[in-house]
Amino acid sequence: MFTMISSKPHSVRKRMLSNIYSKSYLQSSPHMRLISESILFDRLLPIIQEAVSSDAPIEVHDLNQGLTIDFVSAYLFGLANGTNWLQDAPFRRRVLHYYQGRKPYEFYHQEVPNLVSWTKSLGIRLIPRWCDEANEMLDAWCLDLCDKAEQCLQSTEVSVEPVVYKQLQQAMIKQSSQKENTDESLKQQRLDIACELYDQLTAGFETSAVALTYLFWELSRHPDVQEELRAELLTLEPKILFPRSSASRGLPQAKAVDSLPLLEAIVTETLRLHAPIPGIQPRVTPYPSCTLAGYSDIPANIRVNAQAYSLHRNPDVYPDPETWQPKRWLKGVNSDSDLEERRRWFWAFGSGGRMCVGSNLALQGKLTIVPHIEFPQADIFDYRNQTSNGGHLQQLQDVHRRRRQH
């Protein structure tokens, strides 16, 4: 879906999944409730409790990557078939090592793919061979997740049923029902599903991990906001406590959490100031021409870009835009017209037909996770001068080392 340039096939693919990503569906989903309870109480909170008990530091971004991929993959492929990166830190770091290490070379395939092929034919590799090996490993990993989900398609058990995989496969079968189902077409369908879910998995976990990390950091720097948030959370039932007995580990209703104004404001302000995708988001102009930002008669098939970073720093809309001020989103503190204008300029998930299909899943995940964690004061250091024992810090240092080598 993310790489579809034409609007029609993109909208067809998006409609296949829009229902199971809707806010109402997610809030009432028994799958989401079980996923949230299992990942929080069985995986995340025990790790944090153990670190607190032993007075050990936690590399938060590394942990958040495990948290968010477990969360997203469980909804895509089923809780029993998804990842368990939170508890399997060595595997998490190995896969992330491959995944993050390719980033300095993404430009070539995205912007000058013909140059890559041409130089390769001359024996010159713009992209090192280990990137190809990393891609092969990641492809095999995603196909394995899909194959596990395929084996559970007939299950209606909440812990097993692959919600997104099942919906996507059924929609694709319906779309191709008039075509001949040959071995080749079924093979292509398997790859199409894997490509779509790989895009959703990586886009969902990476952006959410960035947002959560900045959110934790901002709360750790603003104990006054944290105290107000804690008071708001005490209004929820059942109370958010850990550890809990197995009989009392239920979560507050998703609708109740969603109705907390300060929590929503904290999440929204973090996404404004620290947008997980701050850079350009390209679009292609339609036929025969269009008008954008006061420029008329822009020809068709021209790439244009907008970016959340700039939109979110308009001082006329967001006064003092470089500061983290959750209360700029609260009713009663701001006028209705100001709030409406701020929401209009808010672009963390894009807008229109190309708006992020998983935005509701991302928001519900954050609203579920944040209330369960306290945030002591945190300090941020320049990672280039730090000693790493693994995690995302090691990934960043590896990337810089490889850049120097190539």
What's the pLDDT score for residue 403? 47
Confidence class for position 293, pLDDT limits 50, 70, 90: confident
Q: Backbone dihedral region of 181: left (phi > 0), alpha (psi from -120 to 50 degrees) or beta?
A: beta
Confidence class for position 388, pLDDT limits 50, 70, 90: low
Average pLDDT on 341-359 reads 94
| For residue 333, pLDDT beyond 50 | yes
67 within a domain of the structure (yes/no)? yes
CA 26 vs. chain centroid, Å, equals 16
Main-chain phi, psi angles of 170, to 5 degrees: -60, -40
What's the pLDDT score for residue 240? 79
Supply 340's token pair.
Answer: 């409406």
**Least confident among 106-120, 144-158, 171-185, 192-206:** 171-185
169 within a domain of the structure (yes/no)? yes
| For residue 168, pLDDT beyond 70 | yes
What's the pLDDT score for residue 247? 61
Say whether 195 counts as a known binding-site residue.
no
Q: Determine how many CB atoms are found less than 10 A away from the CB of residue 406.
A: 11
Query: For residue 193, which of 225, 234, 164 has the smallest C-alpha distance?
Result: 164
330 within a domain of the structure (yes/no)? no
383 within a domain of the structure (yes/no)? no
34 within a domain of the structure (yes/no)? yes
The length of the chain in residues reads 406
Q: Where is 300: in which H helix or E strand? A: none
Which residues, listed in sequence order, are joined to residue 290 by a DSSP beta bridge? 298
| Mean pLDDT over each residue of the chain, to the nearest integer | 90
Identify the DSSP state of 103.
G
What's the pLDDT score for residue 402? 53
285 within a domain of the structure (yes/no)? no
| Rounded Cα distance, 406 and 398, in Å | 12
What's the pLDDT score for residue 341? 98
CA 190 vs. chain centroid, Å, equals 23
- Tens-digit pLDDT profile for residues 90-101: 999 999 999 999
What's the pLDDT score for residue 250? 81
399 within a domain of the structure (yes/no)? no
| For residue 68, pLDDT beyond 70 | yes
Domain range spanning residue 69? Answer: 7-235
Average pLDDT on 62-86 reads 98
| Rounded Cα distance, 249 and 274, in Å | 32
Please list, in sequence order, all residues whose beta carbon lies within 8 angstroms of the beta carbon of residue 220, skipping any fewer than 6 positions away. Answer: 226, 375, 376, 377, 378
| Rounded Cα distance, 131 and 176, in Å | 34
Confidence class for position 245, pLDDT limits 50, 70, 90: low
Q: What is the domain count for the chain?
A: 1
229 within a domain of the structure (yes/no)? yes
- Tens-digit pLDDT profile for residues 40-64: 999 999 999 999 999 999 999 999 9
Helix/strand/coil for 299: strand
What's the pLDDT score for residue 141? 97
